[in-house]
Amino acid sequence: MLLLVGLGNPGSRYAEHRHNIGFMAVDEIVRRHGFGAPRKRFQGEVREGSLAGERVLALKPQTFMNESGRSVGEAARFYKIPPEGIVVFHDELDLAPGKLRVKRGGGLAGHNGLRSLAGQIGRDFRRVRLGVGHPGHKDRVTGHVLRGFSKADNAWLEPLIDAIAEAAPLLAKGDDAGFASKVALILKPPEHKPKPEEIPNN
């Protein structure tokens, strides 16, 4: 079983915040791939479905960001899912808006949600880092992530979330590099270079 985790804060007050881009990604995956109705389990909201023939549990912790690990730890222990079977979608200050990177393990970069997870399941889980940009100074970080996306952000946000949902089956196959490559290809298809016979003669 694969455990997909979106990080964010529960409630309509936080729904459109940058900190909730992980929730947004998981919401679109379950919608696009026809997951079941939401249920309240493991201190979170869960939906079950499948990707690439693999059983998948999608989890949105309802504990608030700083305690996300409690919810994820419960689900992982119940289903005996190892860290490599857990994919976490989260906001990333150190990436430009709209950029995506996938990694396994590593540091926590001051992210309280990741810190909470590491305390419960260790650091070797898989991470899909979703760039929201940095406000320029550490004193402005909290206000930045707890602020809604602007209308201008929709130019990159909606295509990114759509591309993640389309490429998600590759995560179930364990092909993280392929997932990242497909997202990049969807967002920026290669330019078509006309063949000589396609070039009109003047």
| Three-class SS of the chain | CEEEEECCCCCCCCCCEHHHHHHHHHHHHHHHCCCCCCEEECCEEEEEEEECCEEEEEEEECCCHHHHHHHHHHHHHHHCCCHHHEEEEEEECCCCCCCEEEEECCCCCCCHHHHHHHHHHCCCCEEEEEECCCCCCHHHHHHHHCCECCCCCHHHHHHHHHHHHHHCHHHHCCCHHHHHHHHHHHHCCCCCCCCHHHCCCC
| Catalytic positions, written as ranges | 19
